[in-house]
Amino acid sequence: MTSKVGLVYSDEYLKHDTGDHPENSKRLEAILNYLKEKNLLKNLVSILPKKAKEKEIEYIHSPSYIQEVGEICRRGGGFLDPDTPVSKDSFEVALLAAGGVFSAIDRIVDDLDSAFCLIRPPGHHALKSKGMGFCLFNNVSLGARYAQKKYNLKKVLIIDWDVHHGNGTQEAFYRDPSVLYFSLHRYPYYPGTGDIEEIGEGEGKGYTVNVPLPPGCGNSDYIYIFKELLSPIANEFKPDITLISAGFDAHQDDPLGGMSLASQGYGVLTSLVKEFSQGIVSCLEGGYNLKALRESVFTHLDSLASRPEGTRGPRGREFNLFPKGGMDYELPSRGVKEIVEKVKGIHSKYTR
Ligand SMILES: [Zn+2]
């Protein structure tokens, strides 16, 4: 028996016109074509995205910011910040991106095991009242609130494996123990947040977990962090749903990231997330080398769709999805071990 996996996609997502910006519509086309070519697309349940209502965008964003984005787009486009161009259709497309996450959640609650949202613009840098870092509305954060409000899913885990820290997502839930935000990211790096000591405030203390990493980290480092930190924290928290801010810019060939993950690494990370998750909704964030991006999304989806037994099991068999990998998954670099111990120390006084 395989897992039932949905794919949220619409050609409308191509209309967020950013010209030759690294975050452009070719990313989605490259992924979709590759999934077809590799015969994976036919195994995915197609989910048509609905458009989020402006009232729903207010779960996370201020009404004045929502109006501002709408107005800039109605005037024909412009820039939300120097990195973040918008075109005339971007506002509507951004509503459809957030709504795509809502549609995925509807199906997880109904009949699917997991879903991947092949959406743009991305979301995790979008703050309450400010778009930045290629992001307009915070898709994953909006999804978390939607799951809570519409389906009373009380505890939401957000895993952010994009190479950049999701400052917008962290801000949204910094004082909130119902949403656990776990991010591993290059640091110090754009956008500047994500220090190890940023752990949440008030009731939210211990529910923001930041794992800041030096450049060059690869498969063994990420897998070690997932096993040593994320799995125990998630097993303690027991999320009702897991959302992933799935950026693929920590890939070794990404032009922006400076990390060393291989495409197969994302498949392994996905199999680890499946072990503690009830239902998974994964949302595309970054990833700017088209070849690396399409391969990484493929291994991510292939892992979501495959039998749990095939991705777990005794050591040695564990990662046999990828027999040609030839990578040593057991040995993190020394610096990463130290960071993991430090995170454990900081978070050991909080129970979740
Ligand atoms: Zn990124």
User: How confident is the model over 53-70, as pLDDT tens digits?
Assistant: 999 999 999 999 999 999
As a whole number of angstroms, the distance between CA 287 and CA 274 comes to 22
Among 262-266, 271-275, 309-313, whose mean pLDDT is lowest? 309-313
- In the chain, which ranges are continuous DSSP H helix? 26-37, 54-57, 63-74, 90-110, 139-151, 167-172, 219-225, 231-237, 263-276, 290-305, 308-311, 334-347
Q: How far is the CA of 187 from the centre of ligand 1 (A)?
A: 12
Q: What is the DSSP letter of 116?
A: E
Q: What is the per-residue pLDDT for 222?
A: 96
Q: What are the structural domains of the chain?
A: 5-347 (3.40.800.20)
pLDDT of residue 326: 45
Residue 322 has pLDDT above 90, yes or no: no
Tell me the pLDDT band of 329, cut-offs 50, 70 and 90: low
Tell me whether strands 84-87 and 77-81 are parallel, antiparallel or unpaired: antiparallel
In sequence order, which residues have a C-beta less than 8 Å from that of residue 239 and are 6 or more positions away? Answer: 155, 156, 157, 180, 276, 277, 278
pLDDT-derived band at 310, boundaries 50, 70, 90: very low
Top pLDDT among 232 and 311 is at 232
Q: What does the pLDDT read at residue 139?
A: 99
Provide the 10 A C-beta neighbour count for residue 255: 11
Q: Cis omega (within 30 of 0) on the bond before 121?
A: yes
Widest pairwise Cα distance in the chain? 59
Active site positions, annotated = 125
Q: How far is the CA of 285 from the centre of ligand 1 (A)?
A: 6
CA of 25 to the centre of ligand 1 (A): 16
- 321: pLDDT strictly greater than 50: no
The chain-wide mean pLDDT, for the chain, equals 93
Rounded-to-integer distance, Cα 281 and Cα 241, Å: 8
Average pLDDT over residues 164-186: 98
pLDDT band for position 158 (cuts 50, 70, 90): very high
pLDDT score for 195: 98
pLDDT band at 312 (very low <50, low <70, confident <90, very high): very low
Are residues 158 and 136 in contact, defined by beta-carbon separation less than 8 angstroms?
no
Say what the pLDDT of residue 318 is: 41
Neighbours of ion ligand 1 (CB under 5 A): 162, 164, 247, 249, 286
How many angstroms does the Cα of residue 256 sit away from the middle of ligand 1? 8
Spacing, Cα 185 to ligand 1 middle (Å): 9
List CB contacts of 93: < 8 A, sequence separation 6 or more. Answer: 12, 13, 15, 16, 120, 121
Ligand 1 centre to CA of 163 (Å) is 5
pLDDT average, residue stretch 67-75:
98
Out of 177-181, 185-189, 316-320, 341-345, least confident range: 316-320
Q: What is the pLDDT of residue 317?
A: 37
pLDDT for 309: 44
Distance (Å, whole) CA 42 – CA 40: 6
The pLDDT of residue 307: 59
Distance 268 CA to ligand 1 centre (A): 20
Q: How far, in Å, from the CA of 286 to the mean position of ligand 1?
A: 4
pLDDT of residue 303: 96
316 pLDDT band, cuts 50/70/90, is very low
Nearest Cα residue to 160 out of 68, 95, 225, 238: 225
**Distance in Å, CA 349 to ligand 1 centroid:** 30
pTM equals 0.94
For residue 183, the CA-to-ligand 1 centroid distance in Å is: 12
* Residue 1 CB neighbour total at 10 angstroms: 6
Please determine, for residue 331, whether its predicted confidence score (pLDDT) is greater than 60: yes
Lowest-confidence segment of 99-103, 299-303, 305-309 by average pLDDT: 305-309
How far is ligand 1, taken at its centre, from the CA of residue 315, in Å? 32
Could you tell me the distance, in angstroms and rounded to a whole number, from the CA of residue 123 to the centre of ligand 1?
Answer: 10
Q: Which two tokens stand for residue 252?
A: 């070794």
pLDDT, residue 330, reads 61
- Return the pLDDT at 351: 85
pLDDT (0 to 100) of residue 97: 99
Q: Are 310 and 9 in contact (CB under 8 A)?
A: no
**Residue 107 pLDDT greater than 90, yes or no:** yes
Rounded to the nearest angstrom, the distance between the alpha carbon of 249 and the centre of ligand 1 is 6
What pLDDT, on a 0 to 100 scale, did the predictor assign at position 223? 95
